[in-house]
């Protein structure tokens, strides 16, 4: 059982707090603009280490919730932090800060690359960046593989569900909805069944440690 069974870590243990929704907007804009190839690490450094708006525990707590909800993790994280300080206005300020400036930059790049791509060097550069993007995602997948080690489903069921999703998408090109709903309900049911078995085993006095 996690040490935070008594509920999410409070924001009260943070040394400082943002002065206004506008301060949130500025802070999230600045951290998003530093986030090349991933915002999470920058968010942790800016919000926890440098500005002191969140304790390390509160950051991990909120991120683990953000992770299991649909939607981009860092967007969910921004919204939760903003909401806890200033309600929906804070949530809106944090999300807008996270997305507005990077959105304008990436669209400007997309618009100019259509003209620039006529040059072979630019097409080559984009091809090289595409290969790096593929490598980054594959490395992220390998890193995520390590987090499954502690999964209560055990290695065989994890492999079954993971390979099932991979083959359904990469080989059969099935729509994501079928996979998330079909395999998701299967995985949920299997995990609930495993918890029941583990709980029953833990309840037996001869196994208690």
Q: C-alpha angle with apex 31: 36 to 22, nearest 5 degrees?
A: 150
**Contacts for 66 with CB less than 8 Å, ≥ 6 apart:** 73, 74, 76, 77, 80
Q: Judged by CB, which is closer to other proteins: 8, or 17?
A: 8
The nearest distance, CB 109 to other proteins, in angstroms, is: 5
Q: Judged by CB, which is closer to other proteins: 97, or 206?
A: 97
The nearest distance, CB 92 to other proteins, in angstroms, is: 10
Rounded to 5 degrees, what are φ and ψ at 147?
-70, -15
Binding of other proteins by 200 (CB under 8 A): no
Q: How far apart are CA 6 and CA 3, in angstroms?
A: 8
Residue 40 near residue 73, CB atoms below 8 Å: yes
The nearest distance, CB 34 to other proteins, in angstroms, is: 6
Subset of 55-114 contacting other proteins (CB under 8 A): 61, 64-76, 79-80, 83-84, 88, 91, 95, 98-99, 101-103, 105-107, 109-111, 113-114
Helix (H) or strand (E) holding 120: helix 120-147
- Given candidates 142, 203, 208, 209, which one binds other proteins under the rule CB under 8 A? 142
Q: Judged by CB, which is closer to other proteins: 134, or 206?
A: 134
Q: Judged by CB, which is closer to other proteins: 19, or 142?
A: 142
- Given candidates 132, 197, 200, 202, which one binds other proteins under the rule CB under 8 A? 132
Q: C-alpha angle with apex 49: 46 to 55, nearest 5 degrees?
A: 105
Binding range to other proteins, per CB under 8 A, among 14-22, 45-53, 162-170, 201-209: 162-170
Where does residue 73 rank: exposed (0-12), middle (13-18), buried (19+ CB within 10 A)?
A: middle
Q: How far apart are CA 64 and CA 149, in angstroms?
A: 17
Q: Judged by CB, which is closer to other proteins: 172, or 206?
A: 172
Binding mask 19-38 for other proteins (x = CB under 8 A): -------------xxxxxxx
Q: What number of chain residues touch other proteins (CB under 8 A)?
A: 110
- Given candidates 10, 176, 200, 202, which one binds other proteins under the rule CB under 8 A? 176
Q: Judged by CB, which is closer to other proteins: 114, or 206?
A: 114
Residue 98 near residue 78, CB atoms below 8 Å: yes
Helix (H) or strand (E) holding 28: helix 21-34
């Amino acid at each position: 059982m996690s040490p935070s069974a008594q509920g999410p870590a409070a924001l009260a243990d943070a040394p400082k707090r943002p002065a206004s929704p506008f301060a949130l907007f500025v802070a999230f804009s600045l951290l998003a603009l530093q986030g090349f190839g991933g915002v999470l690490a920058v968010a942790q450094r800016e919000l926890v280490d440098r500005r002191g708006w969140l304790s390390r525990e509160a950051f991990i707590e909120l991120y683990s919730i953000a992770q299991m909800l649909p939607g981009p993790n860092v967007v969910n994280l921004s919204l939760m932090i903003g909401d806890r300080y200033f309600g929906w206005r804070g949530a809106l300020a944090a999300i807008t800060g996270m997305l507005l400036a990077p959105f304008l930059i990436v669209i400007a790049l997309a618009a100019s690359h259509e003209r620039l791509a006529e040059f072979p060097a630019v097409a080559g550069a984009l091809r090289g960046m595409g290969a790096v993007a593929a490598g980054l995602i594959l490395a992220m997948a390998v890193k995520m593989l390590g987090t499954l080690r502690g999964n209560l489903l055990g290695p065989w069921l994890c492999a079954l569900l993971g390979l099932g999703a991979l083959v359904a998408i990469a080989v059969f090109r099935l729509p994501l909805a079928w996979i998330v709903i079909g395999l998701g309900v299967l995985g949920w049911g299997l995990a609930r069944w495993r918890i029941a078995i583990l709980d029953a085993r833990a309840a037996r006095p001869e196994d208690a440690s």
